[in-house]
Amino acid sequence: MELDYGTLGGVFTTVEGLLEKISDHLGSQNPFTDSDSSFYERMKKLLDDLEECQLNKKSFTLIMKDPLGHSFLQNPDHPAEDKKAKRINYKRTA
């Protein structure tokens, strides 16, 4: 799943809270989630997968691409390096 810039607005949250916010937006603010279409089935599967990730029942990888540097992930092992996180800096141009 990929979200575009500004999809959720400004959020200060945990990864669990981020997954919950995504699920809420997809489930409650989508006019096509209450139909009997194949889209409904795919959306239901996605929401179920998000819930499993949120409950730590399913592994996933979170990739945050933020070339403007507006995002922050707190390192729970600070000052030691977070072994589960990988940081790649963007080369800025004029």
How far apart (Å, rounded) are the C-alpha atoms in residues 90 and 77? 24
Which has more confidence, 53 or 33? 53
Domain boundaries, the chain: 15-54
pTM of the full structure: 0.72
Decide if pLDDT at 20 tops 60.
Answer: yes
Q: Is the dihedral of CA 18, 22, 27, 31 positive or negative?
A: positive
The residue with greater pLDDT, 54 or 26, is 54
The Cα–Cα gap between 64 and 71 comes to 8
20 close to 37: Cβ distance less than 8 angstroms = no
- With contact defined as beta carbons under 8 Å apart, do 46 and 66 qualify? no
State whether the Cα torsion 5-67-74-51 is positive or negative: positive
Instruction: Dump pLDDT digits (tens) for 48-76.
Output: 999 999 999 999 998 888 877 788 888 88
User: Region 30-38: what's the mean pLDDT?
Assistant: 66
Judged against a pLDDT cut of 70, whether residue 91 lies above it is answered with yes
Q: How far apart are CA 43 and CA 12, in angstroms?
A: 26
